[in-house]
Structure 1
C-alpha cells in the first residue's frame, strides 16, 4: 500500500528518483527560497538609500553603489558561475553561492563604513548570481518535462514576491530594528535554503574527462570586462550619455568582438559559439532581452506619470506600483500550468500577444481612465510577462545538453539583466525625448503624459517585433521535446 502511494505521489509530481531525500516539495521550497532571496537583495536595499546617505554622510550618487555593486556582480559573473558549476559540480557550487550570500548578508549588516558595505554587497551579488544561474538547472534535473512549466512558474512567482516584499518589509525594518537588519534578516533565510538544498538536491555526478580539460580564464576575463563596460556605460552619468559613457560603450562593442575571436579558438570555451546556431536558443535569448527592456519601462516611466500627471501622493504611488509585482506573484503558477498543458513554444507567442495588448493599453488607457486605466493595463501586461518567462525558460532548459546546463541558465539570466539595464537607459531616453524636456524632473504634467504614450507605443512595437521573431524562429525541434507527455495507458 505504501509503495502504491509513493508511486502515485511520484506520478503526480513528475520528480525523478535520484535525490538523497525524495521530497519534491522540500526541494522546490529550497530552490524557491534562493530565488526569492536574490530578488529581495535588490528591492529591500532600495528603500534604505536615503537612510544610508544620512548614516554614512554620503551623497546619493555614492550610496547608489549599494545597489549598483550588487547588480554589476550578478551581471558580470552569472555566465561564469554557470560554467564553473558545469565543470566542478552544480550542487557544490550552488551551496557555495548560498553560503556566500548568507555570509555577505551578515557582513553588510555589520559594515562600519560605506566602502565595506559596498564590498560586501558585491560578494552578496556574486552569491546571488550563482543562485540565479543554478536554480533553473536543478529544476531541470529534479522535475520531469511535463511539470517543468509549473516549476518555472513557481520560480517566477517567488522572484516577484521578493520584488514586491522588499519595499514594505524594508520600511517596517527601517522603522523598527534599523537598517542593519535589512541585511541581517536575509542570513537565516539563506541558512534555511542551504539546509533544504543540501539534503534534497541530487548529488553531483562525476565529470567526464572532456569536461575537465580546462577553464577558459581568458574568455572569462574578457566577458567580465565587456559586461562591466556595458553595464557602466548605461548606468553612469545620471541619465546623461557623455564621453565616458561613449568610451565604455565602444569598449563593450570591441570586447564583444574580441570575446568571439577568443572563444572560436579556445579548446575549452566558456561559451560554445556553435550553440548560437540553434535558432531557438538565439531567438529565446533575444526575446528575453526585448521583453525585459519593455518591463523595465514600467518602473522608469510609471512613477513620473503617477506622481506628476495624476498628482498622486507618495503613498498612493507606491501602492499603485506594487500592483505589478503582486499580480506577477499571483499569475506565476497559473502561467506555468498553462505552459505544461499547451506546450512552451505556443505559449511564448500567447505571452507576447498578451504583453502587446498590455503595452498598447498603457499607451492609451491611462489618458482615458487615469489611475484605473493604468492598473488595468498593468493587469494585462504582467501576466503576459509571467507566461512568456515560464514558457521561454522551459523551452531553453528543456533540451540543453548536460554539460552546458549551468552556462545556458546563466545566459538566460544574463539576457534578462541586460534587458533590464538597457530598458532603464534606452526606454528612459525615449521617455525624456518624447516628453520634449531637457530635465524630466521639471516637465509639466501634459508633457509627461505625452512621453508615456509614446514610450509605451514604442514598447508595443518592440513586442510586435519580438512576436514576429518568435514566429520566424524554428522552434520545432524544441517544441517536440518540451510538450507535455501523454499517458500511453
Structure 2
C-alpha cells in the first residue's frame, strides 16, 4: 500500500487507491475491502462506514429521546403509581443525574478498556434498563431502572463522539459531528410527540419499551460495523481511578442537585449543596495529583484551546436553555397561546437544529471550525437581541423567526466547537475528552435551567411567575434574552482570543 506523510491526511484517495498515513490507515481499516475481481487492483470503499455511522446515530438518538419522552408521561405516571408531582420529578432527575455524574468516568474507562467494547455494554445496559422501566411494578423500582438507564446513556453519549475519530477520516469530522447533532435534536424533538401518541394508544409502559427494538438493532449494527478496539491498546496504561471516579461523581451529582432543587428558588439547602460541591471539587483536584493514572490529568486544562472550547460549550448551553425555560411562560402567559400551540411553537427550535445539523457540519468542513464557530456565536447574539426587540410584535412569528436564527446558529457553533475539540485530541484521550464535552453541555443545561429561570423571575418583578401579569412576563423575557445575548458576547470574546492564541502558536511553531 502506498503511503503519504502524516501531514497530508487529505490525500487519502487518489486514482481510486487509498493512500494513508499510519493513523489514517487505522481509521480507514473498517471501510476498506479486498481488491475487486476485475483484475484492476482497485481498492473500493465498503458501505460499512455508513452502517457504522448509522449505529453511532442511533447511539446519540436513543439517550436524547429518553431525555424528553419521559416528561410528557409524568402526569400519567403520577396517576398510575399514586405519587406526588415532586416524587415524579425524580423520574427525570434520576436519569439526568446518572448521566451528569458518570459521563466523564465512562469516557476514561473507554480509553483504558476499549471504546467499542464499552459502547456495546452501554447499548445493552440501556436496552435492558428500558425493559425494566416498562415492567416496573413500583415507583422506586422505576427510579432505580431510570438511574441504570442513565448509566447506559452516559456510556453511549460519551463514547459515540469519541468513536467518530476511529470511524471517519479527519476531514469528514465536521460532517459526522453535524450528523450526531442532528440525531440529538431529532430525539429531543420527537420525544414529546412520540410519547404522547404511545401513551394515548398503548399505555405509559411503551414510552420505555420502544427503546428495546431500537437497542437490539443498534447493538447488532455496532457489533458488526464499528471498528475494533486497537490490538495494541495499552490497557496497562492505568487502572481505573476509583477514588477520583467516586469523588467526581459525588461532586457532579451534588452540583446538579443544587441547581435543580427548589426549581430555581435558592435557599439554604441549595447553598449548602453548592458548598459541598465546591469542597468535593477541591478534594478531587488534590486526589488527582496523588494517583499514578488519574481520571483527569489536570495539566490538560493548561491547553488554552481545550479550556476555551469547554467553557464556550457550557456558556452556550446555559443560554440555549433560556428558550426552553422562558419560552413556554412567555408564549402562554404573555401571548395567550394554549398548550397545544405552545408545544408546536416550541418544537420549532429542535426541528431547526435537526434540519441544519448535517449542512452545518459540511460547512464547517469546508470553511474551517474556527471561522464557523465565530459565525454561529454572532448569529446567536443577533437572534437573541431580535427576540427581545420583537417582544409582543407579529404574534407567534415574532418569536419563531428569531428562534430559528438562534437554533440554526447554535447548530453551527456546536458542529464547529465539537470538531475543534475532537480533531486535536490524541487517540488515547478521545473517550475522556468526549465525556468532558458532553459534561460541559449537560452542566450548561442544568445551570441554565436555574440561572436563566432566576433572571426571568427577577426581570418579571415577582416571586410567583404563574400569577404574574402578561406585561411583567414580557419584561422578564426581554431581560432574560438580553442577558443571554451578553453571555454569548462573552463567549465570542473567548472564542476570538482562543483563535488568536492558536494562530500565534501555529506561527511560532512554523518559525522554529
TM-score between both structures, scaled by the size of structure 1: 0.94
The 1:358–1:10 alpha-carbon spacing in structure 2 relative to 1, beyond 3 Å, is farther
Give 1:138 deviation, angstroms.
1.1
Give 1:474 deviation, angstroms.
4.4
Give 1:240 deviation, angstroms.
2.1
The 1:20–1:153 alpha-carbon spacing in structure 2 relative to 1, beyond 3 Å, is closer
Q: Distance in 1 between matches of 2:202 and 2:15?
A: 48
Question: Which of residues 495, 502, 512 in structure 2 aligns to 1:470?
Answer: 495
* Corresponding residue for residue 426 of structure 2: 401
For residues 212-235 of structure 1, the C-alpha deviation after alignment (integer angstroms, 9 at most, x for no partner) is 332211111111111011000011
Q: Distance in 1 between matches of 2:483 and 2:265?
A: 21
Q: Distance in 1 between matches of 2:505 and 2:59?
A: 31
The 1:405–1:255 alpha-carbon spacing in structure 2 relative to 1, beyond 3 Å, is same
Q: Distance in 1 between matches of 2:344 and 2:245?
A: 42
* Corresponding residue for residue 111 of structure 1: 136
Give 1:385 deviation, angstroms.
0.5
* Corresponding residue for residue 235 of structure 1: 260
Q: Distance in 2 between matches of 1:303 and 1:159?
A: 21
Question: Which of residues 13, 30, 33 in structure 2 aligns to 1:19?
Answer: 30
Q: Distance in 1 between matches of 2:18 and 2:302?
A: 36
* Corresponding residue for residue 445 of structure 1: 470
SS in 1 for 2:481: helix
* Corresponding residue for residue 276 of structure 1: 301
Does the aligned pair in 2 maintain the 1:345–1:475 contact within 8 Å? Answer: no
Q: Distance in 2 between matches of 1:181 and 1:438?
A: 38
Q: Distance in 1 between matches of 2:234 and 2:170?
A: 28
Question: Which of residues 378, 400, 409 in structure 2 aligns to 1:375?
Answer: 400
Give 1:366 deviation, angstroms.
3.0
- Indicate the structure whose relative CO is greater, using CA pairs within 8 Å and at least 6 residues apart: 1
What RMSD in Å do the two structures reach over aligned CA positions? 2.0
For residues 279-323 of structure 1, the C-alpha deviation after alignment (integer angstroms, 9 at most, x for no partner) is 000000000000000110000000000000000011101100010
For residues 332-375 of structure 1, the C-alpha deviation after alignment (integer angstroms, 9 at most, x for no partner) is 01100110000111111111111111111111123322211100
Q: What are the ranges of 5 or more consecutive residues in structure 1 without an aligned counterpart?
A: 482-489
For the pair 1:420 / 2:445, whether they are aligned, the reply is yes
Q: Distance in 2 between matches of 1:313 and 1:7?
A: 60
Give 1:144 deviation, angstroms.
1.2
TM-score between both structures, scaled by the size of structure 2: 0.90
For the pair 1:31 / 2:56, whether they are aligned, the reply is yes
Q: Distance in 2 between matches of 1:233 and 1:353?
A: 32
Q: Distance in 2 between matches of 1:221 and 1:426?
A: 27
* Corresponding residue for residue 291 of structure 1: 316
For the pair 1:205 / 2:230, whether they are aligned, the reply is yes
For the pair 1:165 / 2:190, whether they are aligned, the reply is yes
Question: Which of residues 125, 141, 144 in structure 2 aligns to 1:100?
Answer: 125
Q: Which stretch has the larger CA shift, 357-366 or 299-308?
A: 357-366
The 1:474–1:211 alpha-carbon spacing in structure 2 relative to 1, beyond 3 Å, is farther
Q: Distance in 2 between matches of 1:120 and 1:387?
A: 35
The 1:199–1:374 alpha-carbon spacing in structure 2 relative to 1, beyond 3 Å, is same
For residues 420-464 of structure 1, the C-alpha deviation after alignment (integer angstroms, 9 at most, x for no partner) is 000000000000000000111110100000000000000000000
For the pair 1:126 / 2:151, whether they are aligned, the reply is yes
Question: Which of residues 445, 452, 455 in structure 2 aligns to 1:430?
Answer: 455
Q: Distance in 1 between matches of 2:138 and 2:14?
A: 54
* Corresponding residue for residue 55 of structure 1: 80
Give 1:31 deviation, angstroms.
0.4
* Corresponding residue for residue 97 of structure 2: 72
* Corresponding residue for residue 411 of structure 1: 436
The 1:231–1:207 alpha-carbon spacing in structure 2 relative to 1, beyond 3 Å, is farther
Number of residues of Structure 1 aligned to a counterpart in Structure 2: 475
Does the aligned pair in 1 maintain the 2:113–2:235 contact within 8 Å? Answer: no
Which of the pair has more CA radius of gyration? Answer: 2
Q: How does 1:295-306 map to 2 (within 5 A)?
A: 295-306=320-331
Q: Distance in 2 between matches of 1:478 and 1:215?
A: 36
Q: What are the ranges of 5 or more consecutive residues in structure 2 without an aligned counterpart?
A: 1-12, 33-45, 507-512
